[in-house]
């Protein structure tokens, strides 16, 4: 499930996933977590944009605890490499709750090749 909205320079929204166990009779562990991914992106001059990283905020309903509570920032720009549309980005993320699943901090550099359908 997700929601996005935008105006000329700002894009915002949220994606939500809820994962639950269906059959734990065969010894599979129970799962009951909610994952939220907020999206905020602001367009800057020269095709640069700044926004939230691809952080996944995770709440574990079985443990009644946040298993991941990150806050991050991302800077990105679309470029052409040859004839291929590409997006380059770098992000930093700090996780305020890293008890048993996620690292405390993360740095990413990403290159995405974009293949539009038209």
Q: Where are the domains of the chain?
A: 2-21+31-114
Looking at residue 22, what is its pLDDT? Answer: 79
pTM: 0.75
Q: Of 102 and 90, which is predicted with more confidence? A: 90
The pair phi, psi for residue 45, each rounded to 5°, is: -60, 160
How much is the average pLDDT of 93-110? 84
Nearest C-alpha neighbor of 56 from the set 71, 40, 74, 76: 71
Q: Is 113 exposed, middle or buried (0-12, 13-18, 19+ CB in 10 A)?
A: exposed
* Confidence check: pLDDT of 6 > 70: no
Give per-residue pLDDT as tens, 26-81.
777 778 899 999 999 999 999 999 999 989 899 989 889 888 899 999 999 999 99
């Amino acid at each position: 499930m997700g929601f996005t909205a935008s105006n000329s320079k700002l894009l915002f929204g949220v994606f939500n996933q809820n994962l639950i166990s269906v059959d734990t009779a065969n010894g599979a562990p129970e799962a009951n977590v909610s994952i939220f991914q907020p999206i905020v992106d602001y367009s800057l001059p020269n095709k640069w944009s700044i926004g939230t990283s691809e952080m996944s905020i995770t709440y574990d309903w079985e443990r009644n605890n946040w298993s991941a509570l990150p806050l991050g920032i991302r800077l990105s720009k679309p470029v052409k490499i040859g004839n291929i549309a590409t997006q380059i980005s770098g992000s930093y993320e700090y996780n305020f709750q890293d008890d048993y699943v996620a690292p405390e901090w993360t740095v990413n550099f990403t290159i995405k090749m974009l293949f539009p359908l038209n």
